[in-house]
Structures are given as structure tokens and as C-alpha cells.
Amino acid sequence: MGILVGKNTRLVVQGITGREGAFHTQQMIEYGTNVVAGVTPGKGGEWVHGVPVFDTVKEAVTATEANTSIIYVPARFSADAIMEAADAGIELVVCITEGVPVLDMARAMAYLANKDIRLIGPNCPGLITPGEAKVGITPGHIHLPGNVGLVSRSGTLTYEVVQALTDKGIGQSTAVGIGGDPIIGTKFIDTLKLFESDPLTDQVVLIGEIGGTDEQVAAQFIADHMSKPVTAFIAGRTAPPGKRMGHAGAIIQGGEGTADEKIRALEAVGVKVAELPTQVADIVASQM
């Protein structure tokens, strides 16, 4: 298996009775993910695609031993849903929801600080270990099991790169979408660390974008701690400064966060940076 999700994943879906929650529950089950429970307050006792629904995460965990949660609840309830999952003893929480207020997340992160839990997202496509489990909204069919780990701040851009890899017959160990918001639970370096110690990952692809300095921090981590080759793609070379490009994180302010700064930082530590998504696959192939 790859990292974080796989055959041992026992998934609870928070917001399972909503439109997105129900649709993606079905998609995840079809992909082979072990979805053991759903949660929607007030809907306990119902069933969605053969999955039992509970009123609280705690009940779901007690009844089904769920160890992973995915969140599709509306943005104004998401931070609370994350904290509820943490309180119920979930080990990995994946928050798909877009548009969570930043200060809600700041408070939620303070709550998670002394709990043994990993959060991915919010505002992310989730993650997939091809052939084993999909915890998210990624189209499963474009993936191929293999040995390249992917970590990305973007959603659909990741699909683009995955498609390019799969088209060349290059499979993926796990693809993780960490999300594009200013405050996210798992950052590049947390994921790089996991890939570095995963025996089934041989090389890593990092997909970044403008805004913040996480790619520069990742570059330093790669220089200091990574033995596996890393290939990168950075979106937003042509973005004008001061404008918010969809993701709350994708905004260039002052001297921090341009694509050029990130590309320079990565190239300085020996990371090959592709100019086009398809070139990522060419570079990865040349390093196999």
C-alpha cells in the first residue's frame, strides 16, 4: 500500500445524506473503499447506499470502528465537524469542503494541537491509493497502481498530471491533495516525510501554486531529508500580483509567493520543475 489510506481504511462519511456526500459515497464504494458508516445529525437510523447513518461521529465509531473520516458538510459547519471527528478518536480526517472561514480553521487547529489526529484539507480533493482505497472526489479511473507519490495543493490540476503519468504507464503509490487554503492540516513537508519512508514509493511529484511559502519550505526539506527524486510543477507563472485566483491561498502579496520564487527555490535544491503538466511524466519516466 501507499500512505495514509488503503485496505485498512474504515471510512465514516460526515454529511452522507447531502447531495455531494451521497454521490461520492457511492463513487468511493464502487472504487473499493471500505465505507463503514455515515453521519448526519437527525438522520440516525437511515441508510445511504447500504451504509448505516448515525447522528454523531462518536456513535459511528463505537458501532463500526471507523478510523478515517471524510467531510462533505457545508462550510459553516466544517470546522465543527473536524473537531467532532477528532473528539471521537478518528485518526485521519479529510475535509473536502471549500470556503471554510480562515479563523474557524485557526481555532480548529488549536483544538487539534494536542490530539493524535491528522487532518487533510480543507478545500481539497482528498487522497487515493490506486487499487485500494479512494477517500475523496478524484476520478478513480485515471489512476494506476504504482510507485510514484503525488502531493498537490490543487484538485483538477492533479488529475491532469495523474492522467499524463497513467498515459505513459506510470502508476501512483498514493496521490494526496492537501488543499489550497491559508490554513491546512497537512502540508507538503508532512506528506514528503511519509513518502520518503514509504517502501512502495520510489519518487515523488509535488504540484504547487502561487501564494505562501510552503513550496520554499518543501524545497529546504527536500534538500535536508529526501533521498528519493522529486519532480515539481508550479501553477501561476502568469498570474498578476495582488489578485486572488480562486483558492484563498493563491494570492501573491509583497515578495512572498510568486511562481518564480518557488521554482528557483526548488531548482536550487536539484528538483526538476516541469513547464507543462505533461512534462512531469517525461521527467518522472527519465528518472525511473
Partner 1 sequence: MKLHEYQSKRIFAKYGVPIPEGEVATTPAEAREIAHQIGGSVVVKSQVLVGGRGKAGGVKVAKDADEAEQLAKQILGMDIKGLTVEKVLIDPTADIRDEIYIGVVIDRAQQKPVIIASAEGGVEIEIVAKENPDAIKRVAVDPVFGLMNFQATNLAYDLGLKGHYVGQFTKIIKGLYQAFMDTDASLAEINPLVVTGDEQLLAVDGKIVLDDNALYKHPDLAEMRDIQEESPSEREARLAGLNFIKLDGEIGCMVNGAGLAMATMDIVQHFGGSPANFLDIGGGANAEKVAKALRIILQDPNVKSILFNIFGGITRCDEVAKGILEALKQVPTDVPMVARLVGTNEEEGQKILAEANFPSATSLSDAAQQAVALAKGA
Residues recognised as catalytic: 247
User: SS3 of 137, please?
Assistant: coil
State the CB neighbour count (10 A cutoff) for residue 58.
16
Regarding 277 and contact with partner 1 (CB under 8 A), the answer is yes
Q: Does 101 help bind partner 1 (rule: CB under 8 A)?
A: yes
Closest approach, Cβ 196 to partner 1, in A, equals 21
Which is closer to partner 1, CB of 8 or CB of 99? Answer: 99
DSSP 43: -
207 near partner 1, judged by CB under 8 A: yes
Q: Does 179 bind partner 1 (CB under 8 A)?
A: no
Q: Does 288 bind partner 1 (CB under 8 A)?
A: no
Chosen residue from 84, 98, 132, 215 binding partner 1 by CB under 8 A: 98
Nearest Cα to 13, choosing from 94, 124, 104?
94
Cell reading at 59: 456513535
In 3-state terms, what secondary structure has residue 161? helix
DSSP classification of residue 142: G
Residue 137 in the binding site for partner 1 (CB under 8 A): yes
Pick the closer one to partner 1 by CB: 37 or 207: 207
Q: Check binding of 224 to partner 1 (CB under 8 A).
A: no
Closest CB 231 distance from partner 1, rounded Å:
15
- Please say whether the beta carbons of 119 and 143 come within 8 A: no
Do the Cβ atoms of 59 and 16 come closer than 8 Å? no
Q: Which amino acid is located at 258 in the chain?
A: T
User: To which residue does cell 491546512 refer?
Assistant: 184
Residue 167 · residue 281 · CB < 8 Å: yes
**Is residue 282 involved in binding partner 1 (CB under 8 A)?**
no
217 near partner 1, rule: CB under 8 A: yes
User: Does residue number 58 form part of the binding site for partner 1 (CB under 8 A)?
Assistant: no
How big is the site for partner 1, counted in residues (CB under 8 A)? 64
- The reply to whether 220 sits near partner 1 by the rule CB under 8 A is no
Stretch that binds partner 1, among 37-45, 47-55, 82-90, 147-155 (CB under 8 A): 147-155
In angstroms, the CA 13 to CA 31 distance is 15
**Window contacting partner 1 (CB under 8 A); options: 44-52, 85-93, 150-158, 194-202:** 150-158
Q: Is 240 in the site for partner 1 (CB under 8 A)?
A: yes
DSSP lists the bridge partners of residue 119 as: 93
- Count H helices and E strands in the chain, helices first: 9, 14
Helix H or strand E segment including 252? none
Q: Which three cell numbers stand for residue 4?
A: 495514509
Chain positions contacting partner 1, by CB under 8 A: 20, 75-76, 98-107, 109-111, 125, 137-139, 142, 152-160, 163, 180, 182-183, 207, 209-210, 212-214, 217, 233, 235-240, 243-250, 253-255, 259, 275-278
